[in-house]
Structure 1
Amino acid sequence: MLVMNATTARKNLFKLIDEVILTHEHICITGKNGNVIMISEEDWKSIQERLYLSSVLNIKRKILKGLNTPLSECVEDNE
């Protein structure tokens, strides 16, 4: 993860936006009162979706069960 101060980030904002979108690498921007992380909107939505799915117990169990189910049990044999 790239780390830079707010002044440098401000000077390079448009370049940083393009870089984050293309590479999906997060950027830590440091400030006097704390730090922030710049991430793409696509990554943010993905994080939100994962958090939501993790918070719904039934869905989480079904996903875990599906991940542990052999493929042969998931596909119908048409022969």
Structure 2
Amino acid sequence: MIIKTPTTARAEFYDILKQVNRSHKPIVISGKNSENNAVIIGQKDWDSIQETMYLESTGTLDVVREREKDDSGFTNVEDIDWDNL
């Protein structure tokens, strides 16, 4: 994980934005204490995290995990009750 000071991050800000979007790896900005730390990630990565948290909170990922364990190996998409996942 890349860690930068606020001073370095300020000087390299645009390069950091390009880097997190290109590499999909977060960069930590480390202040004097943990209350002043931050993490910079790309927008697409943030959106992905938000979507995963939403799917987890609604129970949708539990359904997906159960279906992955299903031995039949096939689920007809038209049989899925999408409104009640």
Q: TM-score, normalised by structure 2?
A: 0.76
Q: Map 1:28-67 to 2 at 5 A.
A: 28-32=28-32, 33-57=35-59, 59-67=60-68
Which string of whole-angstrom CA distances, capped at 9 and with x for unpartnered residues, describes residues 3-54 of structure 1? Answer: 0101000100111111100000100001244100000000000000111111
Gapped regions of structure 2 (runs ≥ 5): 77-85
Runs of 4+ in 1 over 2 A off after TM superposition: none
Structure-2 separation of matches of 1:20 and 1:61: 30
Q: Report how far residue 61 of structure 1 moved.
A: 2.6
Q: Report how far residue 68 of structure 1 moved.
A: 1.5
Structure-2 separation of matches of 1:52 and 1:3: 29
Residue 70 (structure 2) pairs with residue 69 (structure 1): yes
CA RMSD of aligned residues (A): 1.8
Q: TM-score, normalised by structure 1?
A: 0.81
